[in-house]
Structure 1
Amino acid sequence: MSVQSVVITWLKEPGNLEHIARLTAACESLRQIPGVREVRFGPRASLGRNGPDESFDFGTIVTFESLQAAQDYGPHPLHLQAAQLTLQLAERFQSFYFET
């Protein structure tokens, strides 16, 4: 069983390319954490149709090898750095974890 983490972020300054670049670099560093199988991230895609929530600015999906890997991820220094940056740049964020 693997675990997925989904983080949706609303930036304090939507569209700020420097902030998006900083979040991108932080997300790239998460790939170095043991037990992380895959990291996907990027700015919101505007589809221009009704249905999808287009209120957020940046999304991140992390795939973990196991439940234990997801638990170990929380206190890892690279994750803590990324979390601190998110707190600095975000108006708010929402995170979800689910098993696959």
Structure 2
Amino acid sequence: MTVQSVVIAWLKEPHNEAHIARLTAACERLQEIPGVREVRFGPRAELGRPSPADDTFDFGTIVTFDSLQAARDYGPHPLHVQAAQVNMELVERFQSFYFET
């Protein structure tokens, strides 16, 4: 069993490329945390067509953990704490979801 984390964020300055670069760098470092299998992230895709999906968010992150324990250990890990600090500085609000796969 793996655990997935999905985090959707609304940025304080949605089109600020420097802020997106800082978020990207913080997300890249998450891969170094033990028990993290994969990290995927990026700005919202502009599909240019009507969609029933919520397209109000600005940036998304998906983290795959090797186990439930790895997901539990992730929160207090120093690299996650650093990424969370960047998020608190640049993100207006966020929503996170965890589920087992």
Provide the rounded CA distance (Å) in 1 between the counterparts of 2:72 and 2:7: 16
Q: In structure 2, what residue type is equivalent to 1:32? A: E
State the 1:4 CA deviation: 0.1
Provide the rounded CA distance (Å) in 2 between the counterparts of 1:24 and 1:90: 13
Provide the rounded CA distance (Å) in 1 between the counterparts of 2:18 and 2:32: 23
State the 1:51 CA deviation: 1.1
Q: In structure 2, what residue type is equivalent to 1:8? A: I
Q: In structure 1, what residue type is equivalent to 2:6? A: V
Q: Structure 1 regions of 5+ residues with no counterpart?
A: none
Residue 73 of structure 1: aligned partner: 74
Counterpart secondary structure, 2:28: helix
Q: In structure 1, what residue type is equivalent to 2:80? A: H
Residue 2 of structure 1: aligned partner: 2
Percent identity, aligned pairs only, is: 77
State the 1:54 CA deviation: 1.0
Provide the rounded CA distance (Å) in 1 between the counterparts of 2:79 and 2:19: 18
Provide the rounded CA distance (Å) in 2 between the counterparts of 1:22 and 1:99: 29
The reply on whether 1:18 has 2:18 as its aligned counterpart is yes
Residue 62 of structure 1: aligned partner: 63
| Greater than 3 Å deviation, 4+ residue runs | none
Residue 38 of structure 1: aligned partner: 38
TM-score by length of structure 2 reads 0.97
State the 1:46 CA deviation: 1.4
Per-residue CA deviation, residues 35-92 of structure 1 (Å, 9 max, x unaligned), is: 0000000000011222121100000000000000000000000000001110110110
Q: Superposition RMSD on alpha carbons, in Å?
A: 0.6
Q: Structure 2 regions of 5+ residues with no counterpart?
A: none
